[in-house]
Chain A
Amino acid sequence: MTFAAPTEFPILSLVLWLPFVGTLLCLLMRHSPQACRWLALLATLSVLLLTVGLFVGLPAEPGWLLKENYAWIPSFGIRYSLALDGISLLLISLTALLQVAAVLISWKQQEHPPLFYALVLVLETGILGVFLATDLILFYLFWELMLIPMLFLIGIWGHENRVYAALKFFFFTLTGSLCLLLAIISLYLIHGEQTGVYSFAFETLKQTQLTGGMEMLLYLGFLLAFVVKVPLFPFHTWLPDAHTEAPAAGSVDLAGLLLKTGIYGLIRFAFPLFPHAAEQSLPYLAVLALIGIFYAAWIAYAQTDIKRVVAYSSVAHMGFVILGLSAWNQLAWEGALLLMINHGVTTGGLFILIAMLQERTGSRDLRGLGGVWKTLPFFSAFFLLFCLASLGLPGLANFAGEILVLLGAFARWPLLAALAAAGVVFSAAYMLRVVQGVLWGPLGQSCKIDVKDSLPTDLDRREWILLIPLALLVVWLGLYPAPVLEPLRGPIGLLLQAGVLP
């Protein structure tokens, strides 16, 4: 891998800590919700501008584009080292975009708004840190840092069953994380004994010589932490609860970003550190991913809560991503990463729309909804667009990723890929059921207009501002994904080389 020279200006640290500064300011100004709201928007928008600037300004080259590296805890060999390549660049851009959306969708947050925005901003720092850290302990710290704000976001501002969902989410991911920690420390000690250099730097630890059994054991530690977060069947059971109970911003962040940290961990750390063990695990991952695609689709079809449908659809989409990764070739990986980005945008958009719907009708239950198109035509148009994108309609976002995954996977696992293609049909089934149940048919129980109320109002200015960029992105990613694939190509090539090609 080629190394870029350490940058003069610590732009990565700036991006990373800007939201955190926003958090501190929010806590200072906690007596003025209005100020906090604008502050959160300002912080997330500045991060977005910075990342877009990086996206436009940096060349699409393989290898690290920016690096920062400082001593932090020398007695343990822990360093504060950040690095950015094409993959992290795309993911931090997605993070920045969805965080702006998360702030905007919670604009009318009534309960303890300062704390809410403070937590959303800490969460952003945590997610950005995961995508940027190259020291394993630093990575782990940010990985844990994502958990606490999410726990509170679900637990305080969630819906009916929130504490249960928050704890379930927390314990599932924490169990995985602690296995990760144990594996990281073991790897560090093994490397230290071999070379005398005690370091948590990813590039250093990659050189460790491991015996087969030990490699598999450590790999499983890493794998468990990451597949729980993805989530891969059968570790997905926390996801529907957490997604459903979380407030709108929480759902957007969970589906759009937190799931991606799992995939990112796999490709950045688990696969390159343990290439032989990873190679052995690929068939199992592929089969589990395939089961996940069908199982999630099956369950999703039986749900009546639309948030749950979308939550299970995330499991199915992540199944496609893992299937793509397990094919271990350039095409499938490009597709998987593209699908990851696309899924972030479409599912984030869907959760935003569901929040808007719930604001207007007070319900997410398919049995009580219906005929929304008659009262809220603009809203419904967006809803339809994002649903179609989610089910993989050609020309919209998810299709581009899915087709690449399927093509790539076909080269490696023809049978599995053929079966997975059928999964696309399943996703059409449950998504169309949602579209039908919400938009068409007779006016639902929850959508009846009260005598005293006038018509529920269609989108207001804030919501237009929020939805139009996302909708444009969905179309753009579907029709012309090349600008996104460009920065991915080089790093993916390097990652695939670093491991062993089967």
Chain B
Amino acid sequence: MSGLELQSLLPQILLALGATAVLMLGAWYPSRNWILAGAAIALLAALSAGLIAPAIPEVAQLYSTGSYARFFVALWSILGALTLLLSLRYTEIHDLPGSEYAALVLFASCGMGLLSAATSLIGLFLGLEAFTLVFYVLIAFKREDSRGAEAGLKYLVLGAVATGFLAFGIALIYAASGSFHLPEAFAGLQQDGGMRALGLVGWALMLVAIGFKVSLAPFHLWTPDVYQGAPAPVTGLLATGSKGAVIAALVPLFVALGPLKADLEQILWVLAALSLLAGTFAALPQRNLKRMLAYSSVVHMGYLMIGLLVGGPAAYRALLFYLIAYTVATLGAFGVLSSFSQRDDEPQEYADFRGLGYLHPRRSSVLAACLLSLAGIPPLVGFFAKFGIIAAALKGGYPGLAVIAILAALASLYYYLTPIIVLFMQQRDARQLRRGGRYEYFVLTLCFAVLLLLGIYPAPLFQFLASLLP
């Protein structure tokens, strides 16, 4: 690798080297403060992604350094930093090692940044595996917790299967087209005859793996158990970054697909509709906040699939906007969960939240705002996110999906309102206060402000996203 290539990939390298440094130094000087150091490193990476112009547009035909890629590198770095801030008190009360945790989260951010920047199937595979491996560890990070171990194992077994599908799918596409690099990899599949069928089979296998990673129905069954068992801040990162990075990588992939997309249309339609319906029906009876958010994330992935399916600049812009809205609201919701968690109990069941709205009005309001934003209620950002997707679906000629999306939004109100009702409309239990930490409050305030500001004035973000698109 030349110096120019290194300079172009600086943010990801900063994350990886920073993670290594934190890990090594942490072995000699164990301290909780490594988490803060990790957050600082992640912010530094985000800054370098935002401020330092890359010297070359593509590194080793693997990773793009264009503005689209840089934006997501910065986004996932910031997400990593926020996750670390959310984890500071959490790791302390559960007595988790600080430097290892910080290093793992930094590695995860690095993997997500690589994935979102991938311009070749190999880059995609490497990025995806980089952070999936980290999550195997992070999910089971509370070693004594049997539910955490179960969740980790579930994610590991299913994740390994998905990796197999992905690798085999990539191999088939390579066999059919003779290239890993994105436009060329699909160019070979355009014309009829030849190895086209093989390439399409490869695509189907890849879709299975992607469906698993972002938990599209019918590949979503791991989601609730893993969400429930993982530590709350980790679940936050898993729900936002690990899915968002895959979706962000899919957009350039689909742009590169060109006319081949027509062959995938029906599969995507079914995946989107199925995710919307299955997620909705599964989320309705939940009485556990983490499981509910797990199933509702399946629904959100369905919305994102609509954006992918429709295609074109307007739909991709709506999709990215939706992704950001979803990320902020989900991070906020899991942030509130982390900040409510105590040494020996982490509130998950709705019964744990009874009347908490009056004991902790600010954090409960943030949780309510996050849930209402996920439900798409104005004036929160979720409204314009759903609005963009539904408008794109109608414009792209998918009225059926638009109607399903509207119905899913309507039903979603029920499962999003139930926890809010529990928080604010039930009798207060005389329990002990659940104190949170300073950094958690900071992150939650940030999420709340973004939800509200983008909800009231989304125009700049829409314009910015439009300028990013490849």
* Alpha-carbon separation in the docked complex, A148 to B424 (Å): 13
Check if A5 is an interface residue, CB within 8 A of chain B.
Answer: no
Q: How large is the interface on A (under 10, 10 to 19, 20 to 34, 35 or more residues)?
A: 35 or more
A189 CA to B457 CA, complexed, in Å: 22
Q: Mark B389-423, 1 if CB is under 8 A from A, else 0.
A: 01100110000001100100110011001000100
Q: Does A3 contact B (CB under 8 A)?
A: no
Contact B462 A75 (CB under 8 A): yes
Interface bits A59-90 vs B (CB < 8 Å: 1, else 0): 00000000000011111100000000000000
**How far does the Cβ of A416 sit from chain B's closest Cβ, in whole Å?**
35
CB atoms of B379 and A74 under 8 A apart? no
Q: Which of A110-151 contact B (CB under 8 A)?
A: 112, 115, 137, 140-141, 144-145, 147-148, 151
Contact indicator B413/A141 (Cβ below 8 Å): no
**A148 touching B372 by the CB < 8 A rule?**
yes
* Given A152-B424, A156-B424, A162-B425, A175 contacting B410 (CB threshold 8 A): yes
B372 lies within 8 A of A73 (CB): no
Q: Please report the C-alpha to C-alpha distance between residue A55 and residue B459 in the assembled complex, in whole angstroms.
A: 35
List the one stretch of A178-186, A332-340, A399-407 in contact with chain B. A178-186
Instruction: Please determine whether A185 and B425 come into contact, CB atoms closer than 8 angstroms.
Output: no
**Are A163 and B425 in contact, with the CB atoms below 8 A?**
yes
- On chain A, the residues within 8 Å of B390 by CB distance are 181-182, 185
Majority SS at the chain B contact face: helix
Chain B interface residue count, Cβ-Cβ cutoff 8 angstroms = 32
Q: Is B459 a contact partner of A155 (Cβ separation < 8 A)?
A: no
Contact of B402 with A182 in the complex, beta carbons under 8 Å = yes
Residues of chain B lying within 8 A (CB to CB) of residue A144: 377-378, 383
Q: Once bound together, how far apart are the Cα atoms of A151 and B413, in whole Å?
A: 12
Given the contacts A76-B391, A189-B391, A174 and B459 also touching, CB distance less than 8 Å: no
Which residue of chain A has the shortest Cβ distance to B466 in the bound complex?
A75
Is B424 a contact partner of A178 (Cβ separation < 8 A)? no
CB of A171 within 8 Å of the partner chain: yes
Report the bound CA distance from A486 to B328 in whole Å.
51
Q: Is the CB of B458 within 8 A of A171?
A: no
> From residue 346 to 380 of chain B, which have CB atoms closer than 8 A to chain A?
358, 361, 372, 377-379
Question: B463 near A: Cβ within 8 Å?
Answer: yes
**In the assembly, what is the distance between CA of A76 and CA of B383, in Å?**
14
Contact call A155/B424, Cβ cutoff below 8 A = yes
Query: Given contacts A141-B378, A163-B425, is CB(A185)–CB(B391) below 8 Å?
Result: yes
CB distance from B384 to the nearest CB of A (A): 8
Does B458 contact A73, Cβ atoms closer than 8 Å? yes
Q: Could you tell me which A residues sit within 8 Å of B by CB distance?
A: 30, 71-76, 112, 115, 137, 140-141, 144-145, 147-148, 151-152, 155-156, 162-163, 166-167, 170-171, 174-175, 178, 181-182, 185-186, 188-189
Given A75-B463, A115-B361, A174-B413, 7 extra CB contacts under 8 A: A73-B384, A76-B387, A151-B417, A171-B410, A175-B410, A181-B387, A182-B406
List residues of B whose CB falls within 8 A of some A CB.
Answer: 317, 358, 361, 372, 377-379, 383-384, 387-388, 390-391, 394-395, 402-403, 406, 409-410, 413-414, 417, 421, 424-425, 457-459, 462-463, 466
Nearest 8 A/B pairs, CB to CB:
A73-B459, A155-B425, A75-B462, A141-B378, A144-B378, A178-B406, A185-B391, A189-B395
